Amino acid sequence: MVKAFIAAIKERATGSEVAQALNPAQQVIKIVNEELIGILGGETRRLQFAKNPPTVIMLAGLQGAGKTTLAGKLGLWLRKAGHQPLLVAADLQRPNAVQQLQVVGERAGVEVYAPQPGSGVGDPIQVARDSIEHARRTMRVTSSSSTPPVASASTRS
Ligand SMILES: Nc1nc2c(ncn2[C@@H]2O[C@H](COP(=O)(O)OP(=O)(O)OP(=O)(O)O)[C@@H](O)[C@H]2O)c(=O)[nH]1
Ligand SMILES: [Mg+2]
């Protein structure tokens, strides 16, 4: 990825794009900026909210990819946008994952639904199901932070 990034910049920076520019130095900065935006995604996608709340958001990713952190950021962003996010502690496997989500939720000012202690104790499927019922009762948008056992098993390679 880094090699492709550098190659793309090299090609554009040594091409006519720069040679014909009024200010070649500024043109190089513009190219780097554009390429950076490109590798970081470029396009944005809007969240789709469910017609009948709650909206359930599942974050999938390899271990340590930043799912829990993103759940907190998303919760904060949704709260500021006037929604009622709820973080669900459904990673009941990894030691202290529940506590981690509680800290993240507290910092973001977002409620955390954590009926099970985790660290190997509790049924994540039951927690996920109950969280929707809990959210429905209190009319919430659900941002679910979980590493379901099946998914985490497949990411442990
Ligand atoms: N630099 C950087 N670090 C990040 C980012 N997001 C998360 N991290 C760090 O990466 C580490 C793992 O983040 P988590 O949010 O716990 O990742 P996770 O996917 O929930 O991890 P598991 O639940 O163990 O699978 C932590 O030390 C975070 O502080 C980010 O956007 N940038
Ligand atoms: Mg996590």
Q: What is the mean pLDDT of the chain?
A: 84
Query: Is the Cβ atom of 69 under 6 angstroms away from ligand 1?
Result: yes
For the stretch 15-70, pLDDT in tens is: 877 777 778 888 889 999 999 988 887 777 788 888 888 899 888 888 999 999 99
Query: Is the Cβ atom of 147 under 6 angstroms away from ligand 1?
Result: yes
Whether 71 and 14 map to the same domain: the answer is no
Which residue, by CA, sits nearest to atom 12 of ligand 1? 64
Please determine, for residue 87, whether its predicted confidence score (pLDDT) is greater than 70.
Answer: yes
Domain span at 35: 2-39
CA 99 to chain centre: 18
Whether 12 and 62 map to the same domain: the answer is no
Whether 69 and 140 map to the same domain: the answer is yes
* pTM of the complete model: 0.73
Q: Round to the nearest angstrom and report the end-to-end CA distance of the chain.
A: 22
Question: How much distance in Å is there from the Cα of 44 to the middle of ligand 1?
Answer: 21
For the stretch 69-78, pLDDT in tens is: 999 999 999 9
Pocket test for ligand 1, best of 67, 68, 69, 154 (most atoms within 8 A of CB): 69
The burial of 4, by beta-carbon neighbours within 10 Å (0-12 exposed, 13-18 middle, 19 or more buried), is given as: exposed
Whether 31 and 66 map to the same domain: the answer is no
Look at the chain and report how many structural domains it folds into: 2
